[in-house]
Structure 1
Amino acid sequence: EGHYFLVIVDSYSKWPEIFKTPTITARTTIDLLFETFARYGLPETIVSDNGTQFTSSLFKEFCESLGIIHIRTAPYHPQSNGQAERFVDTLKRSLRKIMPGAGHDIGRSLQIFLSAYRATPNKSAPDGLSPAEVLMGRKHRTTLDLLKPPSEHRAALQRNQRQEEQFNKRHGARKREFGKGDSVHASTFVHGKLVWQTGTVIERVGNVMYNVWLEDKKRLIRSHTNQLRARGAQKSRPIRKKLSRRSSYLYTSCSRTCRSSR
């Protein structure tokens, strides 16, 4: 229908918000985030993809004015924003099942999905509770409560775990860690082609992101763990390149995850 969707997921409670919008300009995105912040308060950190609305100077000023740290994912690697990507994957699969019964009304279908998702136990949430329980301290009553006995809670957690494992397998998720000073090969795109370049890990940013100094290009890049390969057991000499003050902020745990989708 020519609409875009701004997807926001709280990284702690897993509470989602979805906004349908005809445009995804920086101004529109900022207005929708303001609406969200008015309900739940300001986040400490926003993790987003590299859409133009998020890379604009206007969005940068918006985050700085509210004291929000903005982290963008590694280019050409949407899995870096895994939380939002998993949610979008679940959303698409669910809408295909919901829309026929909702008269193909996208607005109504979204609300049906959100109601169910917020009330469903989430393995990644604290104590495996539902987003509603974590955020509001109580369960949301839904029509499923008339059909599903309490004993189904554990079964729901197990289903969620299987779904997460299947998603990680399909999307190439791997457990791989690097330390400061490790020599690596980093995949980068040059003129639209994938190229492996030698580099050195400068620092770890969050759970799966690293700042890497490319030795040939003499520049710093950010890479997802899946974009890195160990080059050898030897560690390179320390790089004495001075990083910007903003780099130190990237260790702060995120509290909002944003993604735009069409």
Structure 2
Amino acid sequence: MKALARSYVWWPGIDGEIEAWVKHCQACQESRPDPPRAPVQSWESARAPWSCLHVDFAGPFQGKTFFIVVDSYTKWLEVALVPSTSTSAAIRVLRRLFATHGLPDTLVSDNGTAFTSGEFQTFTAQNAIRHIRSAPFHPATNGQAERMVRTTKDTLRRMTQGDWEYRLATFLLAQHSTPSSTTGRSPAELLMGRRLAIRLDRLHPDRAQDEVVVGEGRNPRTFEAQDPAYAKNFGAGPAWVPATVTRVTGPVSYEVLTDGGQCWRRHCDQIRRRFPGENQEEEDRSKESQGNSGAVRPIEQQGQAGEAESVNTERTREAERTPEPELRLSEQVAPDQTAPSQPASLEREPEPEPQTREHPRPQRTRRAPAYLEDYECDLPGRTGT
């Protein structure tokens, strides 16, 4: 425009006057292009972990809405599933996070209605938190939250297995344990002062599980399988019930089987060693013999067998009380004579056959007293030597 004007007229200061006239033109100012972008202004550096938080809503994304919280110092990310973009939903998530990590110094958000409402302003004022809102329609001012929103959406879009709780837990564990390109350390190391243990740590030999160390100076009571014991009863009935140790489940824990057929898991302090008495040993032997005898008999047969055993026992006792038959005179032989072959008529009378039973008792052998060996006794029906 200045060149065109000088081709027709000229006066001193013509260029400056033309520039001033164009600057004050209303139509020219309204149609002028955008000014060049200003250099990026960084936020004030956070002084400590969890001192400056950036918050924002993300969604709707695949039908869900998320609340994003990121720590400016450690890059620690928190993602919560919320029902809506309301003030109450944001306050509910922030209260839960503040109960775990404490109150921040500064809270940065955009100009959404959830953050500009009076309820949110009251919440920040009661907790002495300085609330800073970004410039309207300028997302770059709250760039920390906006970048995390994009990262969250990209990651969740690639995860297709499991429900939303599983996806969020998997994503947050990976984000908390991965070193950041800005700080060179993982968010967990900067916020909590330690690395988070993940599945890859289980493969390292230095991170293998150590052996269980028993307290020095005390040797805990030990039991083995099939050991008789008394187990503490926490239900109705006696305080201690007979049981048998069936399995060792830990250094000081065992699995026992009571006589009633119940399977319990008890600490060694809840088990006492049991020493069975004589009656108990006989019962155990009888149980073993009955178990080895074969199949279990019906109830009626067991009753009949019990009656037969009692009758046989009585008969055996009567036979024991009956004295043995004396030898006939012809059977008595002098000590210095050799007994000739006895005819069939001089043999002993046949002894009654003992009654058989399942468990016969051993027969006693009757002998003359030892103190009578040096004496000669006149017995009826026997001549002295």
TM-score, normalising length: structure 1: 0.52
Q: 1:1-262 to 2 correspondence within 5 Å?
A: 2-97=63-158, 99-100=159-160, 102-103=161-162, 105-125=163-183, 128-145=184-201
The percent of aligned pairs where both chains have the same amino acid is 48
More strand by share: 1
Q: Distance in 2 between matches of 1:61 and 1:72?
A: 15
Cα deviation per residue 1:22-66 (whole Å; 9 max; x = unaligned)?
A: 122112211211111000000000001111110101101111111
Q: Distance in 1 between matches of 2:87 and 2:152?
A: 24
1:122 counterpart SS class: coil
**Residue 2 of structure 1, CA deviation:** 3.6
Q: Distance in 2 between matches of 1:55 and 1:46?
A: 13
Q: Does the aligned pair in 1 maintain the 2:180–2:186 contact within 8 Å?
A: yes
**Residue 94 of structure 1, CA deviation:** 1.3
Cα deviation per residue 1:67-124 (whole Å; 9 max; x = unaligned)?
A: 1000111111112111111111111111122x22x23x22211111000000000122
Residue identity opposite 2:193 in structure 1: G
1:141 counterpart SS class: coil
**Residue 145 of structure 1, CA deviation:** 4.0
Q: Distance in 1 between matches of 2:202 and 2:137?
A: 45
Name the structure, 1 or 2, with higher relative contact order (CA <8 Å, separation 6+). Answer: 1
Q: Does the aligned pair in 1 maintain the 2:83–2:89 contact within 8 Å?
A: no
1:19 counterpart SS class: strand
Cα deviation per residue 1:186-214 (whole Å; 9 max; x = unaligned)?
A: xxxxxxxxxxxxxxxxxxxxxxxxxxxxx
Q: Does the aligned pair in 1 maintain the 2:109–2:133 contact within 8 Å?
A: yes
Q: Does the aligned pair in 1 maintain the 2:70–2:76 contact within 8 Å?
A: yes
Q: Distance in 2 between matches of 1:11 and 1:109?
A: 24
Provide the residue aligned with 2:51 in structure 1.
none
Cα deviation per residue 1:1-29 (whole Å; 9 max; x = unaligned)?
A: 54311100111111111110112211221
**Residue 147 of structure 1, CA deviation:** 7.5
Q: Does the aligned pair in 1 maintain the 2:177–2:195 contact within 8 Å?
A: yes
Q: Distance in 2 between matches of 1:144 and 1:80?
A: 38
Q: Does the aligned pair in 2 maintain the 1:2–1:22 contact within 8 Å?
A: no
Q: Which has the larger radius of gyration?
A: 2
Residue identity opposite 2:189 in structure 1: E
Residue identity opposite 1:140 in structure 2: L
Alpha carbons of 1:138 and 1:27: their partners in 2 closer, same or farther (altered >3 Å)?
same
Q: Distance in 2 between matches of 1:3 and 1:122?
A: 27
Q: Distance in 1 between matches of 2:116 and 2:82?
A: 19
Q: Distance in 2 between matches of 1:41 and 1:22?
A: 24
Alpha carbons of 1:83 and 1:147: their partners in 2 closer, same or farther (altered >3 Å)?
farther
Q: Distance in 1 between matches of 2:181 and 2:187?
A: 10
Residue identity opposite 2:92 in structure 1: D
Q: Distance in 2 between matches of 1:28 and 1:129?
A: 32
1:70 counterpart SS class: strand
> Gaps spanning 5+ residues in structure 1: where?
149-262
**Residue 143 of structure 1, CA deviation:** 2.3
Provide the residue aligned with 1:201 in structure 2.
none
